[in-house]
Structure 1
Amino acid sequence: MNARRTFLHGIGTAALGVAMVVSAQSPAAAAEAKPGTGTHQECRGVTVDKTAPVISRASVLIKAPLARVWRLHADIDRWQSWIPEIAPAHKVTPGPLRPGSVFTWSPQNMNVRSTIKTIAPLRCTAWGAPVNGITGVHLWTFRQTKDGVLATTEESWAGPPVEVDIPGSQASLDQGLSDWAQRLKGTAEARSGCR
């Protein structure tokens, strides 16, 4: 793996971007692949950059209570207990997560500073993080179903480092989202005794 791909994989696994990949294709294909509306996920009107050259989406069904899944997702200071590849992770802004809250994390030993764009407790979060020339927008949504919690994450990458290697960037982001979602699923289900 070359240095550029290592950098992008690091961003995908932790900083910007997780489960069974529902769609991990070009923006047009990703939009077309979403069941129903054919549009991107959104959180209180915020969505990924639909014009970005790289957009990925991953979903996973988690057999655990929604409150537990949400706590794992929203407790940034404890991310390192279940996804150590991004440690240390720390919420900079005191109090509950809200628009404007800032947090830092360290995928592949990089220092990333993200800002919450919007949040709806137990339903969704969206944040942005410019890193080394890449502008990323990351969205998580959570929906209770009769079989468990459907967690979906979607992320866009834009910027010169992405343009240099779009297929490599796409593959890195796809893998990163899938890895993160699977970690969330595994941790939530282990803590609830469901598997």
Structure 2
Amino acid sequence: MPGIRHTSIRAALSTVPLVVGVLATTVTPAGATTPRTDTSPLTCRGQGVDPDALIRHKTETVIHAPLHTIWKLQTDVERWPSWQAPVTTAERLDHGPLRRGSVFRWTTPAPPTPTTPATTLEITSTVEQLKRHSCIRWTGPAIGDGLRIDNGVHVWNFAKVKGGVRVSTEETHTGEQVESDVPTATRILRAGLEQWLRDLKTTAEAHAHHHQQQH
């Protein structure tokens, strides 16, 4: 939820684009390749985001770095603040490699909106599914002064492609407060996810470049 990230007010394709996207995918001629920008939800071990959530966003990028580098950055939660400016603190509430059942607590600033004040969100995330070097899904609430996201569901997929790794992410937010202004909550979610991917790409590619220079 950074930047209202993992359970920040991140969020959703508006209803109309979502419907259009579904139709566009549905009417693809037989035998044609379905575009990668389809609206099918991301999953990890068969579980995805909240199918009924009004606030959702899905995006992806290709990172030109080894999968193990990207995976380590993403799963070494306590080091998130070192490369993600929107993550102000991060702590693991268990030990060892990130795995199913792991819990971590992190904070991120939330911008003011027409209905909520600027605040800092405290997010408690629980890893529900994880497959090493492949996918992660975590869930949990985000709570700040005057702002609450009852539940955020965040799914990440990692897939090797030519020259690097395609990192895809999708997140939903639910809660009466954020659902009172879905367009604003969705814009904030979108901005948070896009920045997370940019930060991950920049950091992973810098690590990869440094490693190449050493060898």
TM-score for both structures, normalised by structure 1 = 0.84
Q: Unmatched 5+ residue regions in structure 2?
A: 26-33, 110-119, 143-147, 211-215
Which of 4, 17, 33 is equivalent to 1:11?
4
Between the aligned partners of 1:72 and 1:162, the Cα distance in structure 2 is 30
SS at match of 1:175: helix
Q: 1:119 aligns with which of 130, 153, 171?
A: 130
* Structure-1 separation of matches of 2:2 and 2:205: 26
Question: Contact 2:7/2:151 (CA < 8 Å) preserved in 1?
Answer: no
Q: Distance in 1 between matches of 2:184 and 2:9?
A: 15
**Structure 1 residue 24 displacement after superposition:** 4.0
Q: Which residue of 1 aligns with 2:163?
A: 147
Q: CA deviation at 1:31?
A: 5.3
**What amino acid does structure 2 have at the position aligned with 1:11?**
I
CA-CA distance at 1:88 after TM superposition: 1.0
Aligned Cα RMSD in Å? 2.5
Separation in 2, partners of 1:116, 1:55: 19
Distance 1:43 1:17 in 2: 22
Distance 2:2 2:96 in 1: 31
Tell me the equivalent position of 2:76.
75
Whose strand fraction is larger, Structure 1's or Structure 2's?
2
CA distance in structure 2 between the aligned counterparts of 1:88 and 1:94, rounded to whole angstroms: 17
The AA in structure 2 aligned to 1:117 is E
Shift in CA distance, 129/10, structure 1 to aligned 2, threshold 3 Å = same
Alignment partner of 2:95: what SS? Answer: coil
Judging changes above 3 Å, is the alpha-carbon distance between structure 1 residues 77 and 29 closer, same or farther for their aligned structure 2 residues?
farther
Say if 2:63 and 2:201, in contact at 8 Å, map to a contact too: yes
Counterpart CA distance in 2 for 1:9 and 1:91 is 16
* Sequence identity percentage: 34
> Which structure has the larger Rg?
2
Q: Is the CA contact 2:9–2:173 (under 8 Å) kept in the aligned structure 1?
A: no
Greater helix share, structure number: 1
Residues 113-163 of structure 1 show CA distances to partners (whole Å, capped at 9, x for unaligned) of 110011001001000011224311001110001131000110011111122
**Is the 1:30–1:56 Cα contact (8 Å) retained in structure 2?**
no
2-structure distance, mates of 1:95, 1:31: 40
Do residues 42 (structure 1) and 35 (structure 2) align? no
